[in-house]
Amino acid sequence: MHLSLTCQPPIYDLFREESFPALSASTEPVFTGDTPFGIVRVMDAFCLAAIIRELQAVLPGAEINRAQQLDRWSLLLVVHGGRGLSGLVLSVTPGAPRVELRSPPRKPPVHSSRFGDLIASQTKGAQIEAVEQVGLDRVVAIHMRGGSLPGSTALTTGEAAMTLYLEMLGPASNAVLVDRATGTVIDRLRAASGRTTGKTPGPGELYHPPFDCSRIDPRHVEEDEFQELVGVRLAEGVELARVLATSFSGFSTLMATEVVGCSGLSTLASPDEQAHALWKPFRDLMNRVATAAFEPRLLMGDNGEPAGVAAFPLVTVSADCQLSYPTMSEALAAYQNSCEQVERLGALRAGLQRRLQREIDAAERLSAVLGQEAVLYREGELYARKGRLLLANRTGIRRGQQIVELTDYADPATSLLQIDLDPAHSIEDNAQRYFALHRKAKRGAEIVDKRFAETAERLRRLRTMIEQVEMAKDLGELAQVDAALVGVVRRRPVQAAATSHIRRSEGPEPRAFRSSDGLAILVGKSGAGNDHLTWRLAKPHDLWLHAQGIRGSHVVVRLAKGKQAPPRTLCEAAQLAAYYSRARGEIKVPVDYVQRKFLRKPKAAAPGAVLLTREKTITVRPEADLVRRLHAAEDALRAED
């Protein structure tokens, strides 16, 4: 079974419900008689009553296995009842609260807060006794028994009786956990929720539901009281639907307008006659609520998309715009699915528009650049004219001139044409240089003209596609544009992967030695050689050595994986590191050693620079004789090979 409650802001209506929250008596909604009735998407008290009725058939007796906070506004109670495990999502998100019973999600998001942690600890193992709507308002109470209260000990722990209140009141929404034995608040989701009926009660303070005392519970109104209250407000000049919405709790624009529509009233009737006529549809509506005679409807907008929900069939909405559902849960699920699809459609549309606009901007910039290049290349004919003039007048031009002015008979508008010359070359060579520029310009003009035409065509297609995106009505049409965009997007050259900050230099090959234990020891010859040795040749498990704090060669001892360097080899390698450093003449030289895997190369560091961790230090004395002996051992081994 899938139960869901979802509240959304209204599309268009006589007055916006959020402009006069149920908590506020001072905020007066504004009705406009000329404004047509609009479908209200906000979950009103009647729809909430229908969903609570459905939850009452499932939740009582269910045990809470665990609880966690999903986000800032939402809780998840995983409950076990007669139908197995279910996930009860309770959200007081301003503008979009919901109560949803569904299969528990496998990996729900986790949001940590003091209130969420308290709910998790206090409700674990508790049993849900009842679920009810508080008054005829947008407040839900979930009564639980079990768990433990804060501060309980092994001696004082007993069954806790708690109630979780969900106040789904737009900007003033809140969730409050209350100790039923004392009526005091255990904790609340928001310390200051913006109540207009007083401050939000804190821990240890008595809880009181956020009712608007200026609005009456319509379920307990008698005919005389109704007619007196409505008659007085109508005599004050207040519009009919506004009277109902501001005088009785739970009435949204939708239902207030519905009661007025069912009354068949004429605006010419007196206030008393109007009040009398309103009583019958008002009483019938309350009777249907009292008997839970709900007939959920999914309301369709003029565009054919689901636009809202109603708990009953409406006479003020065309029958063609109302779809009947067996349960409010199914109507809300259909509406929610439609909203999610609209969101996906909007997200895909916006993404395509951004991509297309980027491509259009890039194509327009390219077109402007190509236009400028085309102008330059069109001057190629001028180069040919200059070459021909030089050849025709070469007898009158002295070699060594830098500028010459010649009469261009091919262009009557220009009496003299100034031509720049290279004095180091002959007139014939200068003419050939201009002919070469002409040929180059001609080839460039052909290329530019071709690219300019291709860019213009691509711009045309991109502009057509962005118009298609704006007019698309479903995901399928957008998907077609998305697929077509692949063939229109300008192909950019694939960039090579960024090189590692470790420069793998092909430096000089290292010096080679052989330790007394027969292990290979390599010594770098320079900064680039050190990098080559450490980052190219050495394995992560090899032993790396360097004179401590002194410029010198990197030294690497070749080791089998999982093996350690024998003490004698370690000492000999350290002596090599000391010898091939600036401390060669010292008596004692500290040498750091560590496995190569504990080194790293600083960004933009000079060749040979490294950072090391987990290093150890050995102090040795540089010995030239040892260096010659180990080198000779390596030479002898190679000779044998």
DSSP characters over 212-272: -TTSB-GGG--HHHHHHHHHHHHHTT--HHHHHHHHBTT--HHHHHHHHHHHT--TTS-HH
pLDDT at position 12, please?
A: 25
Q: How far apart are CA 465 and CA 456, in angstroms?
A: 14
CA distances from 596 to 216, 503, 527, 569, 617 (A): 80, 16, 17, 16, 15
What is the side-by-side strand order in the sheet with 297-300? Answer: 306-310, 297-300, 322-324
Cα–Cα distance measured from residue 176 to residue 193, given in angstroms and rounded to the nearest whole number: 11
Q: What is the pLDDT of residue 1?
A: 41
Integer Cα distance of 551 and 580 in angstroms: 9
C-alpha 412 chain-centroid distance: 67
C-alpha of 552 from chain center: 51
Closest by CA to 149, choosing from 128, 119, 176, 129, is 119
CA distances from 186 to 32, 151, 165, 312 (A): 44, 11, 12, 38
3-state helix/strand/coil string of 414-466: CCEEEEECCCCCCHHHHHHHHHHHHHHHHHHHHHHHHHHHHHHHHHHHHHHHH
Question: 161-167 and 297-300 as β-strands: parallel, antiparallel, unpaired?
Answer: unpaired
Q: What is the DSSP string of 507-530?
A: -PPPEEEE-TTS-EEEE--SHHHH
Distance of alpha carbon 323 from alpha carbon 314, whole angstroms: 11
243: which 2 tokens?
Answer: 């009277």
Please report how many Cα atoms fall inside a 13 Å half-sphere around the Cα of residue 120, on the Cβ side.
Answer: 15
Strands (E), 118-202: 127-133, 139-145, 161-167, 174-179, 184-188
Query: How is residue 278 written in tokens?
Result: 């309103």
User: What is each CA distance from 239 to 69, 259, 271, 317, in whole angstroms?
Assistant: 44, 13, 10, 20
Q: What is the pLDDT of residues 136-187, one digit of tens each?
A: 888 999 999 986 655 554 444 456 899 999 998 888 889 999 999 999 999 9
Predicted confidence at residue 541, as pLDDT, reads 94
For the beta carbon of residue 117, count every other beta carbon within 10 angstroms.
14
Q: Is the dihedral of CA 342, 343, 348, 353 positive or negative?
A: positive
In angstroms, the CA 327 to CA 9 distance is: 22
Strands 127-133 and 98-102, by their bridges, are unpaired
Query: What is the rounded CA–CA span in Å between residue 164 and residue 188?
Result: 9
Which among 497, 509, 526, 502 is positioned nearest to 596, based on CA atoms? 502
Q: Is the pTM of this model over 0.75?
A: no
Q: Which residue is associated with the tokens 């067996």?
A: 326
The residue behind tokens 């040919």 is: 384
Residue 194's pLDDT is 60
Q: Looking at residue 193, what is its pLDDT?
A: 65
Q: How far apart are CA 592 and CA 570, in angstroms?
A: 11
Query: What is the C-alpha separation between 169 and 95, in angstroms, rounded?
Result: 8
- Distance CA(266)–CA(549), nearest Å, equals 99
Q: Which residues pair with 131 in a beta bridge?
A: 142
What are the average pLDDT values for consecutive 10-residue runs of the chain, which has 641 residues? 37 28 30 32 79 90 91 91 84 82 82 89 91 90 79 53 90 90 91 69 89 83 90 87 88 87 80 88 92 90 80 89 89 82 87 91 89 76 84 86 83 76 89 85 81 90 91 86 79 44 63 91 92 93 92 94 93 94 90 93 82 89 89 72 58
Q: What is the DSSP string of 318-371?
A: -GGGEEE-SSHHHHHHHHHHHHHHHHHHHHHHHHHHHHHHHHHHHHHHHHHHHH
Token pair in block for residue 74: 């939402």
pLDDT at site 480: 87
DSSP-derived secondary structure letter, 78 = E
For residues 163 and 141, the answer to whether their CB atoms sit within 8 Å is: yes
Q: What is the DSSP letter of 294?
A: -
Query: Are the CB atoms for 335 and 308 separated by under 8 Å?
Result: yes
Instruction: Report which residue type is found at 409.
Output: Y
Q: State how far Cα 478 lies from the chain centre.
A: 21
pLDDT at 387: 86
Report the amino acid identity of residue 589. Answer: V
| Alpha helices, DSSP H, located in 472-610 | 475-485, 527-531, 567-579
Distance CA 6, CA 335 (A): 9
Q: What distance in Å separates the CA atoms of residue 223 and residue 230, rounded to the nearest whole number? A: 10
- Give the number of other CB atoms < 10 A from CB of residue 303: 7
Three-state SS for 635?
helix
Residue 151: predicted pLDDT: 55
Residue closest to 349 by CA, chosen among 488, 462, 481, 485: 481
**Mapping DSSP to helix (H, G, I), strand (E, B) and coil, where does residue 375 land?**
helix
φ, ψ (nearest 5 deg) of residue 574: -65, -40
